[in-house]
Amino acid sequence: MDIDFPLILVVLVFGSGLIWLFDHLFLAPGRKQALVELQRSYPDWSKEDSPQQREYRQRSDEVAREPLLVEYSRSFFPVLFIVFVLRSFLVEPFQIPSSSMVPTLLVGDYILVNKFTYGIRLPAVRTKVLELNEPERGDVMVFFPPHLNDTYFIKRVIGLPGDRIRYINKKLYINGEEVSQKMLAQLPPGRPRYRLNEETLGDAGHEVQTDMLRRNDDFSVTVKPGHYFMMGDNRDNSSDSRVWGQVPERDIVGKAFAIWMHWDSFFSVPSFQRVGSIQ
């Protein structure tokens, strides 16, 4: 069962904020008034080390004490609000869970996703409130796939609305033109199975991996308006738009732009050797 963290964060932020606001408007004035009346009952409450001051301090702590729920809300609301703003509108961390983007991204990579590159959206409901940029061919994008509407996926943007995409014999064609590839290596040495290529989409190049022992069927499709065709860089080991279809614009989360840590498992030591921008 997937946990809808954005929704939980929204509930916590607004819940703690409303509790704090309710206390400020309706409960705190009563406590302040009770404290004023207590001071009237102890005329010498301000005299240092007087019997009245000691008794006043003991009783004032009880009168002015906030309810526990209010105290927690007041303490956590600023922190939750900052996390909410950063995660919802600016940058969100994301962990790579599968090998579908090898060699660009490895299992255990921790990346940063720019949430405002493709426009500002309301958290949880995903409604776009501010238009900015559109996805470009070659972007590494995080999104909700059409078959799992509450799970983050990450793939590369291959097809824009209206593009004709064809993939045959491990060759990619866009609008009838073959995408340029240059072989970099065959792995492992000696008995190679995988081919590492540099693929160029537009002006940018990135690495892709193919399995020479796996056969590809001829796949072709035209990208629908308002949709994007996504593929993993590990072309023969990726569940992507060839399997579950095109991604509608409303399900875009953001653009992945940097690796900030690599951590294989809880029992391993985090590494920062892969820190850098994502091509």
Where are the domains positioned within the chain?
5-88, 96-277
pTM over 0.85: no
Mind spelling out the 3-state secondary structure of the chain?
CCCCHHHHHHHHHHHHHHHHHHHHHHHHHHHHHHHHHHHHHCCCCCCCCCHHHHHHHHHHHHHHCCCHHHHHHHHHHHHHHHHHHHHHHHEEEEECCCCCCCCCCCCCEEEEEECCCCCEECCCCCCEEECCCCCCCCCEEEECCCCCCCCCEEEEEEECCCCEEEEECCEEEECCEECCEEEEEEECCCCCCEEEEEEEECCEEEEEEEECCCCCCCEEEECCCCEEEEECCECCCCCCHHHHCCEEHHHEEEEEEEEEEECCCCCCCCECCCCEECC
What's residue 1's pLDDT? Answer: 37
What's residue 60's pLDDT? Answer: 84
List, by residue number, the catalytic residues. Answer: 100, 155
Handedness of CA 147, 149, 155, 156 (dihedral sign): positive
| Mean pLDDT per 10-residue segment, the chain (279 residues) | 68 92 93 89 82 84 89 90 84 92 96 93 81 94 90 96 96 95 89 93 90 89 98 96 96 95 88 94
Edge to edge, the sheet with strand 181-187 lists 181-187, 194-201, 204-211
What's residue 181's pLDDT? Answer: 92
- Classified by CATH at the fold level, domain 96-277 comes out as Umud Fragment, subunit A (2.10.109)
Under a CB-based contact definition with an 8 Å cutoff, are residues 135 and 252 in contact? yes
